[in-house]
Chain A
Amino acid sequence: MLKIEAVIQPAKLDTVKSALIEAGIEGITIIEARGHGRQKGHSEFYRGREYTIDLLPKIKLEIVVNDDMKDKVIAAILAAARTGHIGDGKIFISPVQDVIRIRNDERGEAAI
Chain B
Amino acid sequence: MRCRSVHLLLLPAVLSFPVSALAVAPNLGPSSPATQAQIAALELAVKNAQSAGDNAWVLVSAALVLLMTGPGLTLFYGGLVRRKNILGTMMQSFAMMGIITILWAFIGYSLAFGHGNGFIGGFEHIFLRGVGLTPNPEYAATIPEQTFMVYQLMFAIITPALITGAFAERVKFGPMALFLSLWSLLVYCPMAHMIWGVGGLLNINGGQWPCLDFAGGTVVHVTSGISALVAALYLGKRAGYPHTDMPPHSMVLSFIGACLLWVGWFGFNAGSALSAGPLATSAFINTQFAAAAAALSWTLFEWLQNGKPTALGAISGAVAGLATITQASGFVQPMSALAIGTIAGIVCCFMVFKVKRFFGYDDSLDAFGVHGVGGTIGALLTGLFASGAINAVFGNDSAGTPRPTGAIGGNWHQVLNQAIAMGIGWVLAIVGSLVLLFVVDNLFGLRLSPADETSGLDLSQHGEEGYELNG
A47 & B245 in contact (Cβ 8 Å cutoff):
no
In the assembly, what is the distance between CA of A44 and CA of B251, in Å?
13
B352 contacts partner chain A, Cβ-Cβ < 8 Å:
yes
Q: Which of A5-13, A48-56, A104-112 contacts B (4 or more CB under 8 A)?
A: A48-56
B352 & A48 in contact (Cβ 8 Å cutoff):
yes
B245 & A45 in contact (Cβ 8 Å cutoff):
no
A46 & B247 in contact (Cβ 8 Å cutoff):
yes
Proximity string of chain B (232-270) to chain A, C-beta cutoff 8 Å, 1 when within and 0 when not: 000000000000010110000000000000000000000
B310 & A51 in contact (Cβ 8 Å cutoff):
no
| Interface footprint category on A | under 10
Contacts of A46 in B (CB 8 A): 245, 247-248, 312
Chain B: which residue is nearest A48 at the CB level? B353
In the assembly, what is the distance between CA of A46 and CA of B332, in Å?
34
Contacts of B356 in A (CB 8 A): 47
Distance from B115 Cβ to chain A, minimum over Cβ atoms (Å) = 45
Q: Which of B141-149, B301-309, B335-343 contacts A (4 or more CB under 8 A)?
A: B301-309
Contacts of A47 in B (CB 8 A): 312, 352-353, 356, 366
Which residues of B (336-362) have their CB < 8 Å from a CB of A? 349, 352-354, 356-357
In the assembly, what is the distance between CA of A14 and CA of B107, in Å?
63
Proximity string of chain A (38-72) to chain B, C-beta cutoff 8 Å, 1 when within and 0 when not: 00000011111111000000000000000000000
Interface centre among A45, A47, A49, A50 (most CB of B within 10 A): A47
A45 & B310 in contact (Cβ 8 Å cutoff):
yes
Contacts of B247 in A (CB 8 A): 44, 46, 51
In the assembly, what is the distance between CA of A45 and CA of B310, in Å?
7
Distance from B297 Cβ to chain A, minimum over Cβ atoms (Å) = 15
> Main secondary structure on chain B at its contact with chain A?
helix
In the assembly, what is the distance between CA of A16 and CA of B354, in Å?
47
Contacts of A49 in B (CB 8 A): 353, 357
B352 & A45 in contact (Cβ 8 Å cutoff):
no
Chain B: which residue is nearest A50 at the CB level? B306
Contacts of A50 in B (CB 8 A): 306
In the assembly, what is the distance between CA of A44 and CA of B307, in Å?
11
Chain A: which residue is nearest B310 at the CB level? A45
Which residues of B (176-225) have their CB < 8 Å from a CB of A? none
Distance from A54 Cβ to chain B, minimum over Cβ atoms (Å) = 11
Contacts of B313 in A (CB 8 A): 48
In the assembly, what is the distance between CA of A28 and CA of B352, in Å?
48
In the assembly, what is the distance between CA of A77 and CA of B366, in Å?
48
Proximity string of chain B (271-301) to chain A, C-beta cutoff 8 Å, 1 when within and 0 when not: 0000000000000000000000000000000
Distance from A77 Cβ to chain B, minimum over Cβ atoms (Å) = 28
Contacts of A51 in B (CB 8 A): 245, 247
In the assembly, what is the distance between CA of A46 and CA of B349, in Å?
12
Chain B: which residue is nearest A44 at the CB level? B247
A45 & B353 in contact (Cβ 8 Å cutoff):
no
Contacts of A48 in B (CB 8 A): 302, 305-306, 313, 349, 352-354, 357
Distance from B15 Cβ to chain A, minimum over Cβ atoms (Å) = 86
Distance from B364 Cβ to chain A, minimum over Cβ atoms (Å) = 10
Distance from B365 Cβ to chain A, minimum over Cβ atoms (Å) = 10
In the assembly, what is the distance between CA of A45 and CA of B313, in Å?
10
Contacts of B349 in A (CB 8 A): 48
Contacts of B310 in A (CB 8 A): 45
Chain B: which residue is nearest A49 at the CB level? B357
Contacts of B248 in A (CB 8 A): 46
Chain B: which residue is nearest A52 at the CB level? B245
Distance from B311 Cβ to chain A, minimum over Cβ atoms (Å) = 10
Which residues of B (406-447) have their CB < 8 Å from a CB of A? none
Distance from B3 Cβ to chain A, minimum over Cβ atoms (Å) = 79
Distance from A42 Cβ to chain B, minimum over Cβ atoms (Å) = 12
In the assembly, what is the distance between CA of A47 and CA of B301, in Å?
12
Chain A: which residue is nearest B302 at the CB level? A48
Contacts of B305 in A (CB 8 A): 48
In the assembly, what is the distance between CA of A45 and CA of B245, in Å?
11
Distance from A12 Cβ to chain B, minimum over Cβ atoms (Å) = 25
Chain A: which residue is nearest B309 at the CB level? A45
Chain A: which residue is nearest B248 at the CB level? A46
Jot down 25 A-B pairs with beta carbons below 8 A, ordered by A: A44-B247, A45-B306, A45-B308, A45-B310, A45-B312, A46-B245, A46-B247, A46-B312, A47-B312, A47-B352, A47-B353, A47-B356, A47-B366, A48-B302, A48-B305, A48-B306, A48-B313, A48-B349, A48-B352, A48-B354, A48-B357, A49-B357, A50-B306, A51-B245, A51-B247
**B residues in contact (CB < 8 Å) with A:** 245, 247-248, 302, 305-306, 308, 310, 312-313, 349, 352-354, 356-357, 366
Given contacts A45-B312, A47-B352, 19 further A-B pairs with CB under 8 A are A44-B247, A45-B306, A45-B310, A46-B245, A46-B248, A47-B356, A47-B366, A48-B302, A48-B306, A48-B313, A48-B349, A48-B352, A48-B354, A48-B357, A49-B353, A49-B357, A50-B306, A51-B245, A51-B247
The 7 closest A-B pairs by CB, nearest first: A48-B353, A46-B247, A51-B245, A45-B310, A45-B306, A47-B352, A48-B306
**A residues in contact (CB < 8 Å) with B:** 44-51
